[in-house]
Amino acid sequence: MIKKLDQLTPEDLDKLNAINPKLVKTTTEPFYNESMRNTEVNHIKQIGQFIKTSLGLTEPMQGKQTNYNQDTKGSCDLIFKSGMRLINVSVRLRDFKYRKYNDITIRSRTQSGRNKTEFEKIRDGECISEYYIYGWLSEDQTHIIKWVMVNVEVLRMNLFIGTKTTNGDQSVFYKFDIRDLIFAGAVEGKGLFNNIKIK
């Protein structure tokens, strides 16, 4: 059976990848953002340091990018190793122009509506990440200037505290105020949020 591009499953894409990796990058462009993935890797050392500091780890931290299935099915972007401990992490990095906002947003519906969103994966327990690193980049995008580290399981139990919002492209997000996440016990670490007071 011949499938259209929007009917391809992750298994189909893995098969295509074995034949021609460039083809997979082309066919998945609408829902697999390679540029975003590269940005995460560019800041992997700094992200690793955030995790190490937040969790009080003493062993050296090593990190690597996840594979296609871990990313698209499990909503996991990076895997870190410190001693014997493996740490799965979801990452979202926002541009400098959004630095004034003190909340995190998680997509709950895409414009096409054909793929399960990050919000749905967290809600349904399919997200394999332990933590969610949400950061804001410097103007030249060379480093992260502001960040928060959220416990995914605690977030899952408190998804009701989010506020639903719609973008101009009809994609839907849930917005979570950092103060509400702190109050819920979901924040494991943060940078430049020290002056935020809990409501």
What tokens appear for 151 in the block?
A: 């416990």
38-42, 129-133, 154-158, 165-169: which range is least confident on average? 165-169
Average pLDDT over residues 22-36: 46
- Residue by residue, DSSP assigns the chain as ----GGG--HHHHHHHHHH-HHHHHHHTTTT--HHHHHHHHHTHHHHHHHHHHHHT--S-EEEEE--HHHHHTT---EEEEETTEEEEEEEEEE-GGGTT--EEEEEEE-SS--S--HHHHHHTT----SEEEEEEE-TTSSSEEEEEEEEHHHHHHTGGG-EEEE-TTS-EEEEEEHHHHHHTT-EEEEES-TTPPP-
- The residues spanned by each domain of the chain are 8-191
Q: What pLDDT was estimated at residue 12?
A: 58
pLDDT at 36 over 60: yes
Q: What pLDDT was estimated at residue 123?
A: 96
Average pLDDT over residues 73-95: 96
Model confidence pTM above 0.85: no
Q: What is the pLDDT of residues 148-158, one digit of tens each?
A: 999 999 999 99
CATH T-level fold of 8-191: PvuII Endonuclease; Chain A (3.40.210)
